[in-house]
A and B are shown apart, each in its own frame.
Chain A
Amino acid sequence: MARRTSNDPQAIANVLRLIPAKWLVGMLVALVLYFFLQPKLNAWFGWNLPSIAAMAGNETPAKPASPKPASPKPAQPKSAQQKSAQQTSAQAELASTKATEPRTTEPKAASTKPSGEPTKSPATAKAQDQDDWKYRILKPLGRDRYESPAGLIYAPGSEEGHRLSHIARHLEDQPDRPGSHGVFDGDMAAFLVAIDDAYKRARGHAKGTKSRLEDGMTVYEAPFDQTVGYLGGTEGARKKNPKLKKLRLVLRDRNLITAFPIQ
């Protein structure tokens, strides 16, 4: 071993003596050029050219690469091969980014909702929206019964199956319905708030309110400062849908049977 190492530089020197000076200069220039270009070529084209240190035996390149970048013939197929390899890895990276996108955004979106709540489809989200106003204003009492802040009860009943569904008929006009049909000008949440307001004032015999008993039912009327709806139905159409500023409520005990704007 020791003998061999001491002999190697001598052997190189002997070989160098045999090579013409022109060739030596050319080889040196190529080496210097390679020294500077190797890392840049690797970075630009994604190649894996070995460094001079690696070629000297200190580092091992991951892939066999041409030590002669100047030579186009072996470089071409390699670059094409590596380019396609690079593309595949880029696509995989893109795919992995795509795959992680919902994963990262979903928890973010879900973080605003109560934990454990599944992501909703548009249909269920709509159903949730419909329930939102219900729970924002009404307190669930169980068995599909709800209580308003003023103490009115909205329970199952009526032809529609629930009092809330029944009063929802007064959120839209029925222009062909015979007679008058009071239409509330607003959404269900606003309607529930207005009904509560009318109930509190009428029960407290506030100015302008009326109440009468009708065989177990109570009929309340309460005026509002502003328009709460308009007159619909055939009668409303005939009168050009006049604006209404009063609400009439029909109750059985605290159970709301119906409510609508009146003249």
Chain B
Amino acid sequence: MAKPFLIYVKQCPVCGDGLCRVRVCHDLQRGRLTGCILCDECETVWTDPTLKQKFLRGKVEGTPCCPDCGQSLWEPNSHWADIPEVCLLGWYDSVQIVRKENRDQIV
């Protein structure tokens, strides 16, 4: 289901068209939530909203992976963060939040 808000840091410095968005991975085995920044266009992964450090070595080839567990960020245990999760990660001041009124095309 589409979330009511689109949360992003900025437009992607790598591809220019994507949005650097907050992705969270819920590691069920260890019971913890990991946040990272993922471009929704070129799939570049950064460890935090400063976009200073990319995460390049995942466990699944050809797919963006979680910097913590290394699993694919497109698996069902990962999702775009909502506002409470962004607050929990301490990144609220680093993101821009757009309300998605009639914005069904923004997933």
Using CB atoms and an 8 Å cutoff, list the residues of chain A in contact with chain B: 155, 157-159, 172, 174, 176-182, 214-217, 219, 248, 250, 252, 255, 257-258, 260, 262
Contacts and interface: CB of A to CB of B under 8 A. Distances in A.
B28 interface: no
A176 B42 contact: no
A110 to B, nearest CB: 40
A255 B42 CA distance: 12
B105 to A, nearest CB: 4
Interface of B: 6, 8, 11, 14-19, 40-44, 54, 56, 62-63, 74, 96, 98, 100, 102-103, 105-107
Contact of A217 (B42, B63, B74): B42
Nearest to A182: B17
Nearest to A179: B11
Contacts of B106: 174, 176-177
B43 A257 contact: yes
A79 to B, nearest CB: 71
Contact of B17 (A215, A216, A248): A248
A149 B15 CA distance: 24
A138 to B, nearest CB: 18
Contact of A157 (B6, B62, B107): B62
A169 B42 CA distance: 13
A74 B41 CA distance: 90
Contact of A252 (B41, B62, B102): B62
Contacts of B11: 178-180
A254 to B, nearest CB: 11
A222 to B, nearest CB: 15
A181 to B, nearest CB: 6
A153 to B, nearest CB: 10
Contacts, number: 68
Contact of B54 (A215, A248, A252, A257): A215
Contacts of B102: 176
Nearest to A261: B17
A157 B63 contact: yes
Given A174-B105, A176-B102, A178-B19, A214 B14 contact: yes
A248 B102 CA distance: 29
A182 B40 CA distance: 14
Nearest to B13: A214
B15 A250 contact: yes
Nearest to A253: B62
B19 A258 contact: no
A28 to B, nearest CB: 95
Nearest to A166: B41
Contact of B98 (A158, A178, A255): A178
A176 B17 contact: no
A180 B16 contact: yes
A215 B53 CA distance: 11
A158 B74 contact: yes
A181 B106 CA distance: 12
A255 to B, nearest CB: 6
Contacts of A177: 6, 19, 103, 105-106
B22 to A, nearest CB: 14
A258 B42 contact: yes
Which of A155, A174, A181, A258 lies at the interface centre, i.e. has the most chain B CB atoms within 10 A of its CB?
Answer: A258
A219 B17 CA distance: 12
B19 A262 contact: no
Contacts of A176: 98, 100, 102-103, 105-106
